[in-house]
């Protein structure tokens, strides 16, 4: 076969393939509109995955270029300022130490170098010692989380909600985003396959479910986290007065605030595990840094009035030098009074909240019990010729009136 024959054969095969594809699409469009919709969704999902992968490759290349530029700038700065290592104070060869090795403005020079080559802040999720044990779906979790579009503000809100709910793992927000993304994609794929085998008369049910279930899969994880955060904050507020009394006893026996927090966190763990966890975090942060910083972090994590008042009390007593024991006792009494007033308020509002369930649920049952026998008697009366007897009686009365 020559070149012209091959060209004609390839053109014929391509036209045949194009005709088959067009016929297939025409059959799909004529038979089921939802298949076309799922075909478009599949193309969009594949495009989104390709864009994310391309973005990751671009980011990796940009990071490589930035690291090479940082290395070059560091070497240039070292040559420009003639930075030399500072000799050790304890040195056996003291005669070799000269005035050239001494730096009068060493801290200022180092600060200038740090300003020209700032070290980026290391986040918890960027730590190289982390493994994939805290990821729900393993190494696929970051990729799935990146596929869910969300702004920085919403991501920060989810991180705070996760902290309030007790999820302090560095990559907990990625687990939440991955679960929400799968809650959208998995139902779409499932119903896409189901539409291929579903009878036409049931397609409207599947069409409703294909809208409702992905929305529920996207919203339910966040609602679960918010509900758990609310329950956890309520548990912490309930346990605060008991915690203050126990701290008061510990401080009265000679323990410091830091030691009393550690002891109280151990004793409260069986009863109030959420409060015990927060107190242990405060103790660990106080061991590493300062007590003021640990208490401020506690108030920032648990954004409730009782916790804020407790942390402000400890910070003020530490600054003013007043008695911690007396302050804790007074604050415990006021917090119990606040909880009692809140309970009374809920009890007073419960009567109004029970009004609608009573009217909508109990009253129909009462009406059925009271009016049921009368309704049954009336139905029997009408079915057994009640209308005929009424009509005959009416006619008899009319005849009597005419005779008069």
Distance CA 6, CA 338 (A): 91
Distance CA 197, CA 163 (A): 45
What is residue 220's predicted lDDT score, i.e. its pLDDT? 92
The overall pTM is greater than 0.95? no
Residues 260-285 as b/e (b if ≥16 CB within 10 A, e otherwise) read bbbbbbeebeeebebbbbbbbbbbeb
Average pLDDT taken over every residue of the chain: 74
Among all chains, which residue has been given the structure tokens 């009365």? Answer: 397
pLDDT (average), residues 116-127: 48
Radius of gyration from C-alpha coordinates of the chain: 38
Q: Look at 260 and 135; give whichever has higher pLDDT.
A: 260
Is the confidence at residue 105, as pLDDT, over 60?
A: no
Backbone angles phi, psi at 145, to 5 degrees: -70, -35
pLDDT digits (tens, 9 = 90+) for 45-79: 766 666 666 655 555 555 555 555 555 544 444 44
Torsion angle in degrees (nearest 10) through CA of 194, 176, 161, 276: 120
pLDDT (average), residues 321-338: 83
Residues 31-64 as b/e (b if ≥16 CB within 10 A, e otherwise) read ebebbeebeeeeeeeeeeeeeeeeeeeeeeeeee
- In whole angstroms, what separates CA 123 from the centre of its chain? 19
């Amino acid at each position: 076969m020559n070149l012209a024959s091959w060209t004609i054969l390839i053109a014929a095969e391509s036209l045949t393939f194009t005709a088959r594809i067009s016929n297939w699409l025409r059959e799909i469009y004529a038979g089921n509109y939802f298949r076309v919709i799922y075909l478009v969704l599949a193309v969009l999902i594949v495009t989104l995955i390709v864009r994310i992968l391309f973005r990751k490759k671009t980011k990796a290349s940009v990071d490589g270029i930035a690291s090479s530029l940082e290395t070059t700038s560091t070497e240039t700065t070292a040559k420009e300022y003639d930075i030399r290592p500072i000799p050790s104070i304890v040195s056996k060869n003291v005669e070799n130490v000269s005035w050239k090795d001494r730096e009068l403005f060493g801290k200022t020079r180092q600060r200038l170098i740090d300003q020209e080559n700032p070290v980026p802040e290391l986040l918890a999720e960027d730590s190289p010692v982390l493994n994939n044990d805290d990821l729900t779906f393993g190494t696929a979790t970051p990729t799935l989380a990146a596929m869910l579009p969300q702004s920085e503000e919403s991501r920060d809100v989810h991180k705070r909600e996760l902290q309030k709910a007790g999820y302090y793992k560095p990559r907990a927000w990625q687990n939440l985003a991955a679960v929400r993304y799968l809650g959208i994609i998995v139902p779409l794929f499932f119903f896409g396959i189901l539409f291929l085998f579903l009878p036409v008369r049931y397609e409207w049910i599947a069409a409703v479910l294909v809208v409702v279930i992905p929305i529920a899969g996207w919203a339910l994880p966040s609602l679960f986290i918010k509900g758990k955060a609310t329950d956890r904050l309520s548990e912490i507020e309930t346990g605060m007065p008991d915690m203050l009394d126990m701290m008061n006893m510990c401080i009265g026996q000679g323990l410091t605030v830091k030691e009393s927090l550690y002891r109280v966190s151990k004793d409260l763990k069986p009863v109030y595990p959420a409060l015990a966890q927060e107190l242990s975090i405060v103790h660990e942060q106080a061991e590493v840094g300062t007590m003021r910083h640990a208490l401020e972090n506690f108030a920032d994590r648990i954004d409730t009035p009782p916790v804020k008042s407790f942390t402000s009390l400890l910070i003020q007593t530490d600054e003013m030098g007043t008695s911690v024991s007396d302050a804790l006792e007074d604050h415990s009494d006021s917090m119990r009074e606040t909880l009692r007033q809140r309970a009374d308020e809920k009890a007073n509002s419960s009567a109004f909240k029970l009004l609608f369930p009573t009217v909508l649920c109990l009253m129909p049952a009462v009406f059925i019990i009271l009016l049921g026998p009368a309704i049954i008697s009336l139905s029997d009366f009408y079915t057994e010729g009640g209308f005929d007897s009424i009509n005959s009686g009416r006619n008899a009365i009319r005849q009597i009136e005419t005779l008069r």
